[in-house]
Each structure stands twice: as C-alpha cells, then as structure tokens.
C-alpha cells in the first residue's frame, strides 16, 4: 500500500466562498475534515486575503485555533515574488502556523528579466523564510516552462525555496505536463492535482478546467511519478469553470492537447450565481469521488486527519 496525505485547495469551492453567506474559512476547514482531507490550502491572494476572509492578527488566531481543533495542516497562496509582498505573506503564514507559501512571478517583462528579477527576489527572501520555518513553493503558473522553473530554483539554491508542480498549468505555455514534471522534479515539494481540456472559442484557444476525471490530463501517471520520486503530500483542486488563454505559438499534436472531447466553453464566473454554486459543488463531489476511486485502484491509501 502507498500511503499519502491529501490536502484540498480553497479554489475548489471558490464560488461557495464568493456567493454564500454561510460559507467561510471556518466552514471550509470543517468540511475538509469531514471529507477526510489532512490539510487545507487557502488562497490569501489579493485584497482581504481572499478565502482567508480577514487581515487582522485576531482573525489569524481564530483560524489557527480552528485548524488545531480540526487537526488540519495549512498552506497559503499568494502571488508576486516582490520581497515586500513575500515578507508580508510570510508573517501571515507564521500567524496561521502554515508550513508553505505558494507564489508565482507577476513581472511583465522580457523573459530574461523575469527570470533574473525572480531569482533576485527569492534569494533575498530565503533567509527570512528559513527563520520563520516556512517553505516558499514557486509554481509553474501559466508563465514559465518546467526547465525555466528549475533554472530559477537552481540559481536560488536554498532549501526553503522549492517548486510547486501544477498538473495542468504547463498547457498554457504549450508544454507537455509530464515534461514539466520531469524538468521540475528535483525541486518539487508540493502539487496541485486538477484536470483540464483545451478548446477553441471566440477565435481563441483556451485551457479550461473540468471535473477531475473528465479531462485529458494524465492524472494517475503524474501521481505515480510524483510518488515514485518521494512526494507524499498532494493537494486536490477542483478547477471546474476556470479558463485561461493558451499562450504558446503552436498547439502540440498530442492527446493532452486534443480538442476531441465533449466539453464546450464554460466560464463559471459568467454563470448566474445559483448555477455556478450548484455546478461547482457537483464538480467537486464527482471529481473527489473519481480521484479517491482512482487512487484506491492504484493501491494508494490516504491518511486520515
């Protein structure tokens, strides 16, 4: 039996957070425990710290108490590698007792400058991350291919600055997901498990999130490869209704990029609130059932909280 831990990402229920008055970070933590997850990943990206739902030390203390009461580990998300942002978010992570802080670059510049500035930022913040006991995980987030991520982290060369491998984001830059995994492998410390398809709509090519098990990503091949390389903690992320533009010049002719699937274009953010709520919840339920069954069939056993 292959033993792993499983977190859930708050993006899995983004419309529940956005539209429901009775759903917040505390009910999310309780739901995670009820469904058997061992930890939560919380998007704290943007004004009000998004799904964290508050910005004060008192709120952070309440969330930390809730995590402790439910036996949940915690990781949080931000974006923008600028040192001022990372210093602020490392403080938030410390208040929450979070073990990891996800980040990606937001520089709009030529590739060489993006790489150099990101390396500079991560090198500067690494000592503070180490002092606080928080690992910063740098994600392949619709921008760099896997080899570039590894180049950046190799130059930073610090044990508290690692990689977050997203199962599908390499598609946005025209890279095979398994190639991105192989290139990032020496640095991978965290992952986002999801499912995507590629399609055409409005004269543009899109990468679109679908319920897990209904897309074209090689989810179990990725999971097996990551486990074989030593990863023991995964994060389930329902990305139904998410769309992002395909950014590469050429669409690869491989099954992962095939447009031979039953999905039409669907941006969940444009649906009426009741439809977005109902369809997201259904996608969460069906996707989690599918992944649980696929893991069980492959001999994986998930630790209980």
* DSSP line for 180-232: HHHHHGGGEEEEEB--EEEEEETTEEEEEE--TTSSSS-HHHHHHHHHHTT--
Residue 79: strand, helix, or coil: coil
Per-residue pLDDT of the chain (305 residues; tens, 9 = 90+): 999 999 999 999 999 999 999 999 999 999 999 999 999 999 999 899 999 999 999 999 999 999 999 999 999 999 999 999 999 999 999 999 999 999 999 998 899 999 999 999 999 999 999 999 999 999 999 889 999 999 999 999 999 999 999 999 999 999 999 999 999 999 999 999 999 999 999 999 999 999 999 999 999 999 999 999 999 999 999 999 999 999 999 999 999 999 999 999 999 999 999 999 999 999 999 999 999 999 999 999 999 88
Buried b (16+ CB within 10 A) or exposed e, 35-67: eebbbbbbbbbeeebbbbbeeeeebbeebeebb
Q: Identify the domain containing residue 189 by its residue range.
A: 2-302
Query: What's the pTM?
Result: 0.97
Is the C-alpha dihedral spanning 78, 150, 167, 134 positive or negative?
A: negative
User: What CATH number did the domain enclosing 291 receive?
Assistant: 3.20.20.150
Q: Could you give the CA distance from residue 262 to residue 274 in angstroms, rounded to a whole number?
A: 23
pLDDT of residue 30: 98
- How many domains would you assign to the chain? 1
The answer to whether the CB of 207 falls within 8 A of the CB of 172 is yes
CA–CA dist 188, 69 (Å, integer):
30
The SS3 call for residue 78 is coil
* In contact, 94 and 132? CB cutoff 8 Å: yes
**Nearest residue to 14 via CA among 37, 60, 36, 45:** 45
Q: In what helix (H) or strand (E) does residue 179 lie, and over which residues does it extend?
A: helix 177-184
């Amino acid at each position: 039996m292959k033993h792993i831990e499983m977190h859930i990402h708050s993006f899995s229920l983004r419309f529940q957070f956005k539209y429901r008055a009775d759903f917040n970070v505390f009910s999310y933590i309780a739901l995670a425990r009820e469904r058997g997850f061992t930890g939560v990943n919380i998007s704290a990206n943007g004004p009000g710290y998004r799904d964290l739902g508050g910005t004060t030390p008192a709120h952070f203390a309440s969330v930390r108490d809730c995590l402790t009461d439910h036996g949940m580990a915690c990781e949080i998300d931000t974006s923008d590698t600028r040192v001022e942002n990372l210093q602020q978010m490392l403080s938030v992570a410390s208040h929450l007792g979070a073990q990891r802080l996800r980040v990606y670059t937001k520089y709009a510049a030529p590739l060489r400058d993006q790489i150099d500035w990101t390396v500079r930022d991560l090198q500067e913040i690494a000592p503070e991350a180490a002092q606080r006991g928080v690992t910063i995980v740098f994600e392949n987030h619709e921008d760099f291919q896997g080899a570039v991520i590894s180049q950046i982290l190799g130059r930073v060369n610090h044990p508290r600055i690692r990689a977050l491998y997203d199962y599908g984001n390499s598609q946005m830059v025209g890279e095979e997901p398994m190639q991105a995994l192989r290139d990032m492998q020496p640095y991978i410390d965290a992952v986002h498990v999801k499912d995507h398809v590629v399609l055409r709509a409005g004269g543009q090519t899109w990468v679109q999130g679908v319920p897990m098990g209904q897309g074209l990503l090689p989810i179990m091949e990725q999971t097996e490869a990551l486990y074989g390389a030593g990863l023991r903690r995964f994060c389930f992320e329902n990305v139904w209704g998410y769309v992002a533009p395909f950014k590469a010049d050429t669409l690869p002719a491989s099954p992962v990029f095939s447009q031979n699937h039953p999905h039409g274009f669907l941006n969940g953010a444009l649906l009426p609130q009741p439809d977005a709520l109902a369809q997201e919840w259904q996608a969460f339920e069906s996707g989690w059932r599918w992944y649980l069954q696929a893991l069980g069939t492959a001999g994986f056993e998930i630790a209980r909280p």
